[in-house]
Every structure is written in C-alpha cells, then in structure tokens.
Amino acid sequence: MAFNFLEGEVLLVDKPYGWTSFDVVNSLRYTIKRALGVKKIKVGHAGTLDPLATGLLIVCTGKFTKQIDSYQGMDKVYIGSMHIGATTPSYDKETEVDQTFDTSNIDTELLNNTLKNFIGEIDQTPPVFSAVKIDGKRAFEYARKKDDVKMKSRTVTINEFKLLNFELPEVDFLVNCSKGTYIRSLVSDFGSALNNGAYMSSLRRTEIGDYSVNDAYSVDKLKEKIKEIENQNTETNSELLQ
C-alpha cells in the first residue's frame, strides 16, 4: 500500500471501542508526522462516532480534508442493540440507569408497529451528552457539570429502521439514516413511543455512502502500514550515508 499523505489520502478506519474520533485522528496524525519527518499535516475525520460505538470512521489527510463535508453528508448504516425497560441520562451505557419500566407488554408486534412511526423525516433532539457545540462548548461539558442546557431539535431522515433480533431486554436493530442522526436519540424516542424506556447498549457503524467497514483497517494495522514508510526512509538515509 502506497500513501501520499501530504497530497491527500482517504483512510477507512475501524474505530475501536472506548476511543473518541479525535483520539483516532490524533494517533494517526502523530504517526504520519513521524513517518514523513514533518512538523505539520492536516488530518481530520468525516463524522463523529461516540466513544462507546465502534465501526467505520473516514479519516482524510492533506488536501483531501477539503472533501470532509461531502463524506459527512452521505447516508450511514448502523447495527446496534437497545436495552428495553430502562433509561439513562446519556441514552447509552456512559451513565447509570435512572429509571426502569415494566416490559411485560412488549412483544414483536408492538415493536414493529412502533417502528413504522420512525421511518422518513423525523424531528429529534441530540443527547445532552454529545459533542454538539453550544456557545463554543461541547454539550457534554455542560452535562457532566450537571448544568442546565437547552438542546435544539433537528430534522433527520430515517431510510430504514428494522429489528434484527428480539430477546428482552435486548433488541438488535439496523438503521439507515441521513447526516446528523443521533442513534441514541432515536433509541430513546423509540422507548418513549412504546410508553416505556430504552437506551442504546451497543452500536457499530457499518457503512458511509458506498464505503464499508469491511474495507477498513484497525488503528493498529494502519499505524503499522504508516510506520513502514518511516522504516523505508530510515533505510534510504542509511544507504546514502554509506
């Protein structure tokens, strides 16, 4: 694999669990700078993935960072799981359960009928535990300090939302959606529509436009590939000194 990071590359990364999208960018930027022996290089990602989510993250370098907006605008596909019968302030497992519900009336018929209300254009409010900027600060910064903050709703498009497996309290699902969709909010709103509660227990992004996570590299594997450039440069310099 030949790279031209300064001219521009589009890197498909399988983001690991527990990493922020910026962690991935910072790690790759550091490795690329060392490999090329440069002090600066543009590196950015095309669409945030939450730390507790895994899957496809598009990272652009050099002149290709100018194309980030076009990648961000592409539809995305996720597979995940939701926990029915409980809620959390963050809508996922980052925070502790704050409310529980009886799930004895939940069945596949109710779930599938409720799903129909979430297809097409819908209004949703991003989680307060999110990277949305409010007055120059990330929303999660307010949330972690327990400061009151007003999140603005937005219109998003859900192209597909279907159940993959149903074993209470866990329900596996697939979502195909537009830019700006928060799957955590979708899950939380879905739980409310059931007259119950739900939070996201796992999430993996599998597609962005025509790009697939099946073609992505792990961070470690990609860094190994990048370090090969550094080793080649070292060997070349050694030969020149002989």
Q: Helix 183-193 to helix 108-115 angle, to the nearest 10 degrees? A: 120
Alpha carbon distance 239, 242 (integer Å): 5
Place of tokens 């370098």: 61
- 116/1 Cα distance (integer angstroms): 45
Quick one: three-class SS letters along 106-121? CCHHHHHHHHHHHCEE
147 has catalytic annotation: no
- The rounded distance, in Å, linking the Cα atoms of 108 and 127 is 27
Q: Which position among 14, 50, 92, 189 bears the catalytic label?
A: 50
Q: Which residues are catalytic?
A: 50
